[in-house]
Structure 1
Amino acid sequence: MLEPIDRLSLQADCENCFGLCCVALPFAASVDFAIDKAAGQPCPNLKSDFRCGVHTDLRTLGFRGCTVYDCFGAGQKLSRFTFEGRDWRQSPDLAKQMVDVFPTMRLLQELLWYISDALTLQAALPIHDELLAALEETNRLTLLAPGALMYVDTAAHRAAVNALLLQASEFARDEAKRLQQAPPKHRKNIGRGADLIGANLRGADLRGANLRGAYLIAADLRDADLRSADLIGADLRDADIRGANLTGSLFLTQVQLHAAKGNSSTKLPALLSRPSHWTA
């Protein structure tokens, strides 16, 4: 059975990618993007060497959306493994196929991140074998040829994996709650998919909270304790997490950190990095 994957390989490595996210993904002129771009159309800022020509100025030029995106390593896996180093410029006949399979590969890589995270949880040992099996199957799907990747039933696979991730989350959150002296005062207001847009949660004890899919847009989470809180799918756009403790939070991603507002006092899991746009 496949051993746990090195999660550093599940982060974007643009130096080994053919700018696939800059081609495959569509975006519309908005607060996050300065222009419209259709799926399959190369971004005008993409250079001939597949690097971004305005990378250091993305936010000031109106491309904030690019700075909060991560492909979980899908770009380099497709570029170097699936398509064996053949790029869409030199092999234009492959361009459409590359664009079509990119979302599938990204989803699978994201699932690998979450499963790998779950495998680190001591509380999830009762389902360790099931998680390893899910990791192996997900990884197997990422190794399929392009034609086969097109027909992966991503919805069914995601649903099966999510059921396991939910179990792992419940084990970990139950353990965190048992270790607490008293129930957090905000617990009654928290739940899966909760609408917490702009909520004042400053200093809140959210250990073990279920924040799966929660809308935390512009929420005040300064100095909040989010250890063992399930953050899978939580929308942290413009959430203020300065001074918050996110060590041991469940299923947190680099994408979420890039979307939030933090500082040097924000405590992060070891594998995630502090975004360059955060304040000191």
Structure 2
Amino acid sequence: MARTSVASSSDQGRPGLRADCARCFGLCCVALPFAASADFAVGKEAGQPCANLRADFRCGIHARLREQGFPGCTVFDCFGAGQKVSQSTFGGRDWRQEPHTARQMFEVFPVMRGLHELLWYLTEALELPPARPLHRDLRRALKETERLTHGSAEALAELDVAAVRQDVNALLLRVGELVRATVPGRTRNHRGADLVGARLAGANLRGATLRGACLIAADLQRADLRTADLIGADLRDADLSGADLTGSIFLTQAQLNAAKGDATTKLPRTLDRPAHWSARRTTTAEVLPDA
């Protein structure tokens, strides 16, 4: 997958939850499978190193991933799980030097990624003033999830991360309700909605719940998404040009990387503007054919 920088300049408060590829053994490029598609020029099995992975665990085509047919790599984010598994769980022993660790390392990586994603959401929730009534529960959940990440490789491989996610998600749902309740008036509920290709340019989605909504290729140009709950929303190829995502909650860098946007898209302070986004604003007239 993409070999990214150590940390975002906009998010120094969560360094352990940002990918540090220089300290990882290319786990996302080996442990995970992908199929030949619009996202990947070729497919590979789980546990099989990507043909572009170099001996130093860096990507040989990192600067040209999109041009070479691997946009899916530029979207992936391990939330810092790669370096955690490489340097903490396995103590800096890499799978090439010690092949007997490979299988278990590759099994542990997606589990750790799931836990780190939850840590990202819980950390964000604790930064939200409306969630103060839940801070005790959130701190407890954060501490327990962090404890799990320090377990042995054997314990992590056997962990039911889906069950952990279910418990944390119930808490995050309550957080979302408290945050959205600060928006005056009635807000929209699009939880889990099929909004593929939806024309939502200029839509008022402030305070809306878009949890798990499928927004693939949706037109969200200039949409007001302030304080919207975007956890799990599929934003692949969604056009966020000129949209206002200020204060939106549970939005991740991976979601932004999968979407389209421009210089006028307003983002939460914790996230970076993707490098592949247009430098200028794209108007609706430019992307929709004349009637």
After superposition, the C-alpha distances for 1:104-161 in whole angstroms (9 at most, x for unaligned) are 0000000000111111111111111000000000000001111111111212111100
Q: Deviations over 1:23-54 (max 9, x none)?
A: 00000111111111000000010000000000
State which of 47, 56, 60 in structure 2 corresponds to 1:40: 47
Give the Å deviation of 1:80.
1.0
Give 2:105's aligned amino acid.
M
Query: What is the RMSD computed on CA atoms of the aligned residues?
Result: 1.2
Once the two structures are superposed, what CA deviation does each residue of 1:77-113 show, in whole Å capped at 9, x if it has no partner? 1111111111000111100011011110000000000
Write the letter of the residue equivalent to 1:105: M
1:11 to partner: Cα distance: 1.4
* Amino acid paired to 1:222: Q
- The amino acid of 1:34's aligned partner reads A
Q: Distance in 2 between matches of 1:249 and 1:147?
A: 37
Q: TM-score, normalised by structure 1?
A: 0.93
Q: 1:274 maps to what in 2?
A: 273
Structure 1 contact 82–143 (Cα < 8 Å) conserved: yes
Residue 183 of structure 1 and its aligned partner are, at CA, apart by: 4.4
Return the match for 1:144 from 129, 145, 151.
151
Query: Counterpart of 2:16?
Result: 9
- Whether the 8 Å contact between 1:8 and 1:271 is mirrored in structure 2 is no
Give the one of 174, 181, 188 matched to 2:181: 174
Q: 2:74 aligns with which of 64, 67, 79?
A: 67
C-alpha distance in structure 2 between counterparts of 1:128 and 1:168, whole Å? 10
Residues 1:240 and 2:206 are matched in the alignment: no
Task: Provide closer, same or farther for how the CA distance between residues 8 and 247 of structure 1 changes in structure 2, counting only shifts above 3 A.
Answer: farther
Gaps of 5+ in 1: none
1:191 is displaced (CA, Å) by 1.8
Once the 2 structures are TM-superposed, how far is the Cα of residue 8 of structure 1 from its aligned partner? Answer: 2.9
Residue 163 of structure 2 aligns with an amino acid whose one-letter code is: A
Q: Does 1:121 align with 2:128?
A: yes
Distance 1:230 1:199 in 2: 18
Partner amino acid for 2:127?
T
The count of aligned residue pairs is 268
Residue 30 of structure 1: aligned partner: 37
Q: Is the 8 A contact 1:23 1:40 kept in 2?
A: yes
Structure 2 CA distance, aligned partners of 1:45 and 1:131? 40
